[in-house]
Structure 1
Amino acid sequence: MLFYNDYPLPLLGWGKLRNRFLPDKGKIMTQAIFKATIIAAAAVFFAIFVAVVVPPLIAQPDVVGAFAAGFVNPYASGYSSDVLACWVILAAWIAYEAKALGIRHGWICALLGIIPGVAVGFALYLLLRMRQLKAG
C-alpha cells in the first residue's frame, strides 16, 4: 500500500483526486480558519447562553438553584461534571502558562470560563495566547 502524508492510497486511479482532496497536512487548517472557527463557536455558545439562561435568571435570580439544576439527573450531572473538570483544566493551564510563558491577562479568560462558560473562556484564551506568543 502506498501512502501520501500518512493517508493510504489505492494504486490505480488516484491521480488528480489526491491533490484535490488531500492537501499537505500543514495547509488543512490555516490560522485564519482556526481563529474564525473558535470565534464562531464562542459566539454561538454566548448567544445560546444569553437566550436560554439569562431570561430565567432574571425572572428568578437564584444562582445556587440554577447551578444545582445542572445536576438534576444523571445525564445532566455527567455533562455538568465534564464542564467543571474542563474549567479546572483550563484554569490550571492558564496559571501554568502565566509563569512558564509569561502569558498575561489569562485570569480574565478563567473568569469568562465561569460565566458565560468554558467555551467562551477557552476560545478567548487561545486567541490571547496566540497573539502574545506571536508578539514574542
Structure 2
Amino acid sequence: MSETVFRALVAVIGLGFALLFVILVVPPLLTNPDVPGAAMAGFVNPYAAGYASDAIACWLILAVWVGYEAAHRGVRHGWVCLLLGVVPGVATGLAAYLLLRHAQASARDL
C-alpha cells in the first residue's frame, strides 16, 4: 500500500465515522440534551455494554500510546487526538493520531 493510499484511507475512515456520529447522535442529543443519559445508553443491554466497554478500553490504550510516544518519540499535540477520541469517538481520534504521527515522522526523515 502506498503512503498516499494509507493516508487517504485513514482520513476517509476517521472522517466517515465522525460524519456517522453527527448523523446518528447529534439529532437526538439536540432534542434531549442529557449527555450523561446518552453516555449511559451505551450500557442498556449486555451487547451494547460490550461495545461501549470496548470503545472505552480502546481510548485508554490510545491514551497510553499517545503518552508514551510524546515522552519517548517526541510526538507532539497528541492530546488533540485524545479529545477527538472522546467526541466523536475513538475511530476519529485514532485516525487523527496516525496521520499526525505519520506527518511528524515523515518530517523528521527529511
User: 1:64-121: CA deviations, max 9, x gaps?
Assistant: 0000000011110000000000000001000000000010000000010000000110
- 5+ long unaligned stretches in structure 1: 1-28
User: 1:39-70: CA deviations, max 9, x gaps?
Assistant: 11111111110011001111111110000000
Aligned length in residues:
108
Q: TM-score, normalised by structure 1?
A: 0.78
Per the alignment, in what secondary structure is the counterpart of residue 94 of structure 2? helix
Per the alignment, in what secondary structure is the counterpart of residue 53 of structure 1? helix
Alignment RMSD = 0.6
- 5+ long unaligned stretches in structure 2: none
Give percent identity, aligned residues only. Answer: 56
Distance in 2 between residues matched to 1:70 and 1:58, nearest whole Å:
18
Indicate which of 68, 89, 92 corresponds to 1:96: 68
Is residue 62 from structure 1 mapped to residue 34 from structure 2 by the alignment?
Answer: yes
Report the AA paired with residue 45 of structure 1: F
Give the number of the structure whose alpha-carbon radius of gyration is greater: 1
**Cα shift at 1:127:** 0.4
Distance in 1 between residues matched to 2:103 and 2:5, nearest whole Å:
15
Aligned to 1:120: 92
Aligned to 1:32: 4
Aligned to 2:16: 44
Q: Higher strand fraction: Structure 1 or Structure 2?
A: 1
Aligned to 1:131: 103
Bigger RCO (CA 8 Å, 6+ sep):
2
Indicate which of 33, 36, 46 corresponds to 1:74: 46
Report the AA paired with residue 103 of structure 1: V
Distance in 2 between residues matched to 1:97 and 1:44, nearest whole Å:
26
Identify which range, 29-38 or 109-118, moves more after superposition: 29-38
